[in-house]
Amino acid sequence: MKILALDLGRLNSAACCFNSKTRNSKFVTVPTTRPQFESMFADWGADLVVMEPCGPSGWSSDMALKHGLKPIVCSINTEAWGPGVTE
């Protein structure tokens, strides 16, 4: 499975494409624009898109669905991400 993880920013976003079979990853910084995300969703061949809830997550989630991808919007402010989770 290829997972595209996005750290969405107002002007720029960090993107990581991770292949769970090969364990290879690719990191890039991209402009937070609709044309850039259209290109990324079309070209990277991800199965799943993970992002945080914020302003751009609405349109980027809709765009992922348009490309047949499964978007997951998750908040790091929930108990699952609290202190001691990795212990």
Q: How far is 47 from 28, CA to CA, in rounded Å?
A: 18
Residue 78 is predicted with a pLDDT of 63
All structural domains of the chain with their residue ranges: 2-81
Q: What is the pLDDT of residue 77?
A: 67
**What predicted TM-score, i.e. pTM, was given to this entire model?**
0.79
| Four-way CATH pick for 2-81: 1.10.10.10, 1.10.150.120, 3.30.420.40, 3.10.180.10 | 3.30.420.40
Note down pLDDT in tens along the chain; length 87 residues: 999 999 999 999 999 999 999 999 999 999 999 999 999 999 988 999 998 888 888 899 999 999 999 988 887 666 655 566 555
Q: How far apart are CA 22 and CA 61, in angstroms?
A: 26
pLDDT at 73: 85
